[in-house]
Structure 1
């Protein structure tokens, strides 16, 4: 058995600081996993509170995801939508715009490594119709110019040019919800 003096000397010689300063380096074999790969984050464009239970039930009923969806409020007014199959997530992102109780839902994907609460929820993809275009202006070039005037053009409906009797042009655009809507473009 060691005496007290030997124990004190032994304790004084311990080099804990060297181990505390040791750096852990991950090699190329370690990949970051995106745990939000099958998730969307969203918020409703309203100051009034949402009936969470009714909203969850209604959206699941409307979306009908084959593998299901879990919806959780992660911060007041911010929801995480977890899907269990990529096709379900894509269908929701490419469909819409979505709303509940006449309140628009803004959805976004979560980039790898990003905190879902920090994702900017400011854009909504929406189909618009443009009426009263002069004859000969139902073209993709005009559609892109008009789409970019109202927001950011995402998709030009190729059926716009398919009939002389079509009375409006359909465009899918990305709108910034922070800006007022533009109702018309004057000549």
Structure 2
């Protein structure tokens, strides 16, 4: 996975930080205890419509979390990833951005 993600990263121009903020709806998860986890926000770069359930299943297969992952669509092609365990989140960050990025 890391090798393939590295190829994709080279093809794109990532900024170190974006100044855009992301608003996460309060009612995304039902209970306060259900909202606990380790989060990442991702964004789709394509402009075409997509099948969210197919994308979600593909990302679950690619990320292959050991402890659990929930993916929700929030706004403007942005996805909210909620990892149950911090090591799953760290592994995905390192695969996408490389091991030198701080989490």
Larger Rg: 1
Q: Give how far 1:46 is off.
A: 1.1
**Structure with the largest fraction of strand:** 1
For 1:1-187, list aligned pairs within 5 A: 38-96=38-96, 125=97
| Residue aligning to 1:163 | none
Number of corresponding residues: 67
In the aligned structure 2, how far is the partner of 1:36 from the partner of 1:89? 14
What secondary structure is seen at the aligned counterpart in 1 of 2:58? helix
User: RCO higher in 1 or 2 (8 Å CA, sep ≥ 6)?
Assistant: 2
Runs of 4+ in 1 over 3 A off after TM superposition: none
Q: Give how far 1:36 is off.
A: 7.1
Q: Where does the alignment leave 5 or more consecutive residues of structure 2 unmatched?
A: 1-34
Contact 2:37 / 2:83 at 8 angstroms: preserved in 1?
no
In the aligned structure 1, how far is the partner of 2:68 from the partner of 2:49? 25
In the aligned structure 2, how far is the partner of 1:46 from the partner of 1:78? 11
**CA deviation digits over 1:79-113, x for unaligned, max 9?**
100000000000001103xxxxxxxxxxxxxxxxx
Q: Where does the alignment leave 5 or more consecutive residues of structure 1 unmatched?
A: 1-34, 97-124, 127-153, 156-187
In the aligned structure 2, how far is the partner of 1:68 from the partner of 1:36? 12
| Residue aligning to 1:22 | none
Q: TM-score under structure 2 normalisation?
A: 0.56
Q: TM-score under structure 1 normalisation?
A: 0.32
| Residue aligning to 1:107 | none
